[in-house]
Amino acid sequence: MIVFDKVSKVYEHRGTRKYALEELDLVIPSKEIFGVIGESGSGKSTLLRLLNRLEKPDNGQIRMDGQDIFSESKDIQRQRRRNIGMIFQHFNLLYNRTVLENVALPLKLAGEKKQEKAKEALRFVRLEGKMNDYPKQLSGGERQRVAIARALVNAPDLLLCDEPTSALDGQNAYEVMALLRKINQELGTTIILVSHELELIQQLCSRAAILENGRLLETVVLSPQQKETVFSSYYERVKERLT
C-alpha cells in the first residue's frame, strides 16, 4: 500500500511560489490498477516524480508498506528504485540499440550480464521475434511494448505509467491496455496510471484520484457496474477539455 500523508510540493519561479501538490492525502491499494486524472498542471506528473524519487516533498510523508520512502537508508532506497518500473508516453528507447539491448539496459546498469531476463520479458509482451530489430523498424505499439518489457525486466512491484497510450492509434492503444491488464492480473503488479484520457481510466482502473491545481478533489471507485455512471460533476465539467 502507498500512502500520501499531507504531501506538499512547491516550485518557485521568478519569486512566485506555486503548489504542484498541496497537502495531498491519498491511499493507493496494492495490486490494483489505480488511475490519476486531471488537466495539465493538476499535479499528476509531480506525483509520479515523487514516487520515483526524482523529487522530494517539501512537507508530508510518502509511505510504502508503512515506511517513509525518504527516510530509508540509501541501500534500501536503491532497492526500492529497482522495484519500480516506468513507462513513458514517447517510449524513451535508444534507437542505436536493438530491441533486446534496450530491454536488457536496466540489467546492464545493475551489473548483470546474462540477458535471459530480457528475453523472458520480451516473450511476455509477445515480441520475442523482434529481439534483433531496431526501434525504427517497429510500429508505435511495438515500441511501447518494448518499453513495457524494459520496465518489467527487474520484476517490479510497482509500475508507473505516464500517458502510456496517448501517442498510439486505436488498435495499438487497445493492445497496450490489454497488456497492462495482463501484467496486473498475472504478475500482481501495482500499476499507477496517469492520464488525461477518460476512456483509458474507465476501462483499466479499479479506482481513480481526481486532481485539480495540486489538490485531491475526490477518489472514485470504478466497479464494473459503475464504469459508465460513476464520474462526478468534475468529470462532466472538464470532459471536453480533457478529451
Domains of the chain: which residue ranges? Answer: 2-83+157-242, 93-155
Q: What is the pLDDT of residue 148?
A: 96
List CB contacts of 126: < 8 A, sequence separation 6 or more. Answer: 145
Provide the CB-side half-sphere exposure for 24 (13 A, CA). Answer: 35
**How many Cβ atoms are within 10 Å of 125's Cβ, its own excluded?**
23
**Rounded Cα–Cα distance for residues 239 and 243 (Å):** 6
Are the beta carbons of 74 and 147 closer than 8 angstroms?
no
Mean pLDDT of 202-226: 85
Q: pLDDT (tens digit, 9 = 90+) per residue, 83-111? A: 899 998 888 999 999 999 999 999 988 88
**Rounded Cα–Cα distance for residues 39 and 213 (Å):** 8
Q: Is the dihedral of CA 210, 31, 122, 98 positive or negative?
A: positive
Are the beta carbons of 115 and 69 closer than 8 angstroms?
no
| Residues in the chain, total | 243
Domain spanning 2-83+157-242: CATH superfamily: P-loop containing nucleotide triphosphate hydrolases (3.40.50.300)
Q: What is the pLDDT of residue 198?
A: 80
Q: pLDDT (tens digit, 9 = 90+) per residue, 120-159? A: 999 999 999 999 999 999 999 999 999 999 999 999 999 9
Q: What's at 54, amino acid-wise? A: L
